[in-house]
Amino acid sequence: MPSTVTVHRAPVLLPVSGPPVADGAVAVRGGVVVAAGAHHEVVSGLETGFEQIEWQGTIAPGLVNAHTHLQYSDMAAVGLGRYDGFEHWSHAFQEAYERPHDWAASAASGAAEALRWGTTALADIVTDPAAGGALHDAGLHGIVYWEVFNWKAGRWDAEGRARVTEALGRIPAPPATGLSPHAVYSLDTDVLHDLVEFAAELGLRQHIHAAEAASEDEFTRTGTGTLAEQWRQYGHADLQLLAGGGSGLGAISYLDRAGALTPSTHLAHGIYVDADDRALLRRRGVTVALCPRSNAVIGLDPPPVAAYLAEGNALAVGTDSLSSSPSLNPLADVAALHLLARAQGYREADLHERLLEAVTLGGARALGLEGSTGHLTPGARADFAVFDTASPDPLDARAELVETGSTPVTATHVDGALLWSSTAGHAKESTHA
């Protein structure tokens, strides 16, 4: 017997896959969108009776947080600080990281916060398998990326693949798992090459921190600079890039030579990139998850969002973790990107549309989930959030979401199920024969 259709109605619908709609609706059956659009068109196309829930505000696809570490949610004190650069912040992070932690509880609290911000899918990077169940337990979609950090060639050859395989096997499914080769400065060149091959053999997506520190280019090009000196002080002068005087390539080109830039890889941060780097990322089909609030906390330059937009790079949005960001609210990062884009000279009229797409469908594409989430289209998962926007005008409501970053979330649904709601709840339920 077919399951009941539930129609969710609101003054504004932002499907992302199409234009904004006044008096919109999403019809859901069995956790899947069966129709989305103007309310009168949706209900007239239904062949059977339905239940209806009327919400105030705006229905939009669930947000996709394309770069975070829920594991570090109990390190929020670090994220509330202010730092004068990557090396300064990393010292504070390391001190906090080395204290005792209940990583499972920390990640679970982060997953709960993500739902409160209207997030339904995440790229979550973990370093301890205990944190790997947070998305699974919360009923969220996304990918849990096992971070591969601080491996040198000799030890990797002896035990690396076996250790990574064991860790991946301890992460519950769903959702899917992936590999996160941490960064160009924390892995030997041979290890990075082998990780690319290993990910391809396992059919896993990759997620890499890249061009986050200004000194990454010096590190990969000549084995010099402040980041290189920091790693030498940590006792890693034998890293292949440092011992060999660099590769002669900047960070993005170095990743490309390693084979790491593919459509199944997305990067986090992408701050210190030039036009050639951005063009290379476009050719390789690589999405960049921008995390402007994290960058500001650490004391980094802002990402070149206007250039990315003008040149046509694929973009997503991430919050990073609470160890470098004041919250796990992706829309707050969207608001920061809006200000940056305008300050950097982006004047096109499509900015609201493109930034909302980046935090929904763009994130889904980064994770290889664009067929199932990040948009409200028949056949997609019924992953959506209800935002308490002030105006019934669709363009005004979209502008509020993008520009303020602080619109309250009324409800978050994953696969059609209500996983979080505010005390305000919905306006009215009814049954239609």
Asked if 334 contacts 356 with a C-beta cutoff of 8 angstroms, the reply is yes
Amino acid 3: pLDDT: 76
Q: pTM for this structure?
A: 0.96
Phi-psi category of residue 359: left, alpha or beta, with phi > 0 → left and psi -120 to 50 → alpha: alpha
Main-chain dihedrals φ then ψ at residue 19, nearest 5 degrees: -70, 160
The string of DSSP letters for 351-412 reads HHHHHHHIIIIIHHHHTT-TTTSSS--TTSB--EEEE--S-SSHHHHHHHHHHHS-PPEEEE
Per-residue pLDDT band at 427 (split at 50, 70, 90): low
Task: Assign 432 a pLDDT band (cuts: 50, 70, 90).
Answer: confident
Quick one: pLDDT at residue 1? 35
In the predicted structure, residue 424 carries a pLDDT above the cut 50: yes
**pLDDT score, position 48:** 82
Q: What is the residue-averaged pLDDT of the chain? A: 96
Listed in order, the ranges of the chain carrying CATH 3.20.20.140 are: 63-366
Residue 430 reports pLDDT greater than 70: no
Query: pLDDT above 90 covers what percent of the chain?
Result: 95
Domain 5-62+375-432 has CATH 3.30.70.141: no
Q: Where in the chain is the domain with CATH 2.30.40.10?
A: 5-62+375-432
Architecture of the domain delimited by 63-366: Alpha-Beta Barrel (3.20)
Report the pLDDT value the prediction gives residue 433, as an integer from 0 to 100.
55
Mean pLDDT of 166-194: 97
Assess whether pLDDT exceeds 90 at residue 152: yes
Q: How many CA atoms lie within 13 A of 204 on its CB side?
A: 24
Residue 316: alpha-carbon gap to chain centroid? 7
**Percent of the chain whose pLDDT exceeds 70:** 98
Count of Cβ atoms closer than 10 Å to residue 30 Cβ: 12
How far, CA to CA in Å, does 30 sit from each of 1, 34, 159, 239, 303?
12, 9, 44, 52, 40
User: What radius of gyration, in Å, describes the C-alpha atoms of the chain?
Assistant: 22
Residues 6+ apart with CB under 8 A from 54: 9, 10, 426, 427, 428, 429, 430
More confident residue, 425 or 180: 180
